[in-house]
């Protein structure tokens, strides 16, 4: 157990600073992976180290005390942390999204809610709860699965369907026969059900949680179709999902580096040759490297194009259809390809991979679990495909379509 000590004075001042800090942390995180898994949640000293390094302020703009990272820079930070430990990368991204959600909340209210930029958010946005309209706000109840990072969060964001007098509430503008909204609730009101017993990403502590008849004032609720903060690339309904694919990309890079290190030292006993001279090893490593390069480039190219258009004052509607579809498709691709790369390298190292002391074993499990996240599902492909073909996307928000 290596305690990570981070004096507050070392708070990152820029994106480059934070990225360097994330890279420095990675080896320690790797050493503590077994402990993180075992805890089935991030140990508190690691949370505080991430906080002190400025990870959770990366999505807030400078005038809020944040670091104002672009989506590309955020993704790089997540990659660097996931290079050390996938669960840490995962929870970092999710926890840092407060700086994105704050843009959809009345700005005076948001400043009161988030007095410092280092607060951590967790929660599930898919509407799984029930919110009854009452004077001044809502009464929220429900059970949400997959609350990654909930054990160490300050705020919980949860999607819920809105009801009035017990009946489904339709949006006044007629856009939605049954409205759903996001509800921000202080962590203390949530009850966590300790049920995150998974084989992969075990350290993410993605347990179920419940709210029971909690009053949420109107101003603490929001919808992604109404921006209150300064317009810009992060005030976009897809912004909070962009950097998530940094987690699988970081793991893939870690596995590639690890497998190459091993290959450099190993001898094939039967053939009497170093692994470095074996066709099988050479081809598998190179093929995985090619897949990694293309996948990562696909993610950053789509993200950069979107960023450029949004920064210039455009909207997602100003992207060419292929460019718009490229964004969510690149996420799916990163999750899936990363798992495929890890699987192939796992097989390359054969029985050296199967022991729990091998990081390859953990990466195999982590990428299998990550791949079940919504961002990596066929639902995203269906939505992008439907969008391109002029059909009906089942999950429009992955394309930034919220109406």
Residues that bind another protein (CB under 8 A): 145-146, 195, 197-200, 270-271, 280, 343, 346-347, 350-351, 353-357, 361, 364-365, 368-369, 371-372, 377-379, 382, 394-395
| DSSP for residue 331 | H
CB of 341 to another protein, least distance (A): 14
Tokens (6 digits) for 350: 């054969």
C-beta closer to another protein: residue 323 or 361: 361
CB of 30 to another protein, least distance (A): 18
C-beta closer to another protein: residue 1 or 270: 270
C-beta closer to another protein: residue 55 or 122: 122
Q: What is the dihedral of CA 15, 17, 21, 24, to 10 degrees?
A: 120
Q: How far is it, in rounded angstroms, from Cα 138 to Cα 140? A: 6
C-beta closer to another protein: residue 214 or 342: 342
CB of 350 to another protein, least distance (A): 5
Q: Which residues pair with 131 in a beta bridge?
A: 140, 162
Q: Which residues pair with 155 in a beta bridge?
A: 121, 186
CB of 372 to another protein, least distance (A): 5
Q: How far is it, in rounded angstroms, from Cα 82 to Cα 69? A: 18
Residue pair 40/151 in contact (Cβ under 8 Å)? The answer is: no
Helix, coil or strand: residue 210: strand
CB of 113 to another protein, least distance (A): 30
C-beta closer to another protein: residue 145 or 232: 145
At residue 139, what are phi and psi to the nearest 5 degrees? -110, 120
208-217 and 127-134 as β-strands: parallel, antiparallel, unpaired?
A: unpaired
Tokens (6 digits) for 365: 């499990």
Give the N- to C-terminal CA distance of the chain in Å, as an integer. 49
Q: Residue 268: how many CA atoms within 13 Å on its side-chain side? A: 15
CB of 245 to another protein, least distance (A): 17
* Residue 105 CB contacts under 8 Å (≥ 6 apart), including other chains: 113, 184, 219, 220, 222, 228, 229
Q: Alpha carbon 181 to chain centroid distance?
A: 20
CB of 261 to another protein, least distance (A): 19
CB of 336 to another protein, least distance (A): 9
C-beta closer to another protein: residue 8 or 270: 270
CB of 240 to another protein, least distance (A): 19
CB of 393 to another protein, least distance (A): 11
- What DSSP string describes 366-381? HHHHHTTSGGGSHHHH
Closest CA to 70 of 15, 122, 21, 135: 15
E strand or H helix that includes residue 134: strand 127-134
Q: What is the dihedral of CA 342, 345, 351, 356, to 10 degrees?
A: -30
Residue pair 296/334 in contact (Cβ under 8 Å)? The answer is: yes
C-beta closer to another protein: residue 20 or 386: 386
C-beta closer to another protein: residue 312 or 355: 355
C-beta closer to another protein: residue 330 or 343: 343
At residue 213, what are phi and psi to the nearest 5 degrees? 55, 50
At residue 134, what are phi and psi to the nearest 5 degrees? -135, 165
E strand or H helix that includes residue 46: helix 44-53
C-beta closer to another protein: residue 60 or 346: 346
C-beta closer to another protein: residue 49 or 338: 338
CB of 199 to another protein, least distance (A): 5
């Amino acid at each position: 157990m290596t305690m990570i000590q981070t004096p507050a004075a070392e708070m990152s001042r820029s994106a480059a600073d934070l990225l360097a800090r994330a890279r420095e942390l990675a080896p320690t995180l790797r050493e503590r992976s077994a402990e993180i898994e075992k805890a089935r949640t991030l140990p508190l000293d690691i949370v505080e180290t991430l906080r002190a390094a400025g990870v959770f302020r990366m999505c807030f703009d400078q005038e809020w005390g944040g670091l104002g990272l672009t989506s590309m820079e955020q993704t790089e930070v997540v990659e660097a942390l996931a290079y050390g430990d996938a669960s840490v990368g995962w929870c970092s991204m999710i926890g840092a999204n407060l700086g994105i959600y704050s843009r959809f909340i009345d700005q005076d209210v948001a400043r009161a809610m988030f007095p410092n930029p280092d607060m951590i958010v967790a929660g599930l946005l898919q509407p799984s709860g029930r919110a009854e309209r009452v004077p001044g706000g809502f009464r929220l109840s429900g059970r949400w699965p997959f609350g990654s990072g909930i054990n160490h969060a300050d705020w919980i964001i949860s999607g819920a369907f809105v009801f009035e007098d017990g009946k489904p509430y339709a949006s006044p503008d007629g856009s939605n026969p049954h409205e759903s909204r996001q509800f921000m609730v202080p962590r203390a009101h949530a009850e966590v059900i300790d049920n995150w017993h998974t084989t992969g990403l075990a350290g993410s502590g993605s347990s179920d949680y419940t709210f029971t008849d909690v009053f949420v004032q109107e101003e603490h609720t929001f919808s992604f179709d109404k921006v209150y903060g300064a317009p810009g690339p992060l005030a976009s309904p897809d912004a909070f999902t962009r950097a998530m694919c940094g987690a699988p990309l970081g793991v893939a890079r870690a596995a590639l580096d690890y497998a190459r290190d091993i290959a450099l030292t190993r001898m094939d006993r039967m053939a009497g040759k170093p692994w470095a001279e074996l066709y099988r090893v050479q081809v598998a490593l190179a093929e995985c490297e090619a897949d990694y390069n293309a996948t990562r480039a696909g993610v950053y190219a789509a993200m950069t194009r979107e960023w450029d258009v949004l920064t210039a004052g455009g909207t997602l509607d100003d992207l060419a259809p292929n460019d718009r579809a490229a964004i969510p498709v690149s996420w799916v691709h990163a999750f899936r390809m990363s798992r495929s790369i890890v699987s192939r390298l796992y097989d390359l190292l054969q029985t050296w991979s199967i022991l729990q002391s091998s990081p390859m074993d953990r990466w195999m499990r982590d990428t299998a679990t990550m791949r079940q996240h919504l961002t990596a599902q066929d639902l995203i492909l269906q939505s992008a495909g439907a969008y391109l073909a002029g059909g009906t996307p089942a999950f429009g928000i992955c394309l930034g379509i919220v109406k």
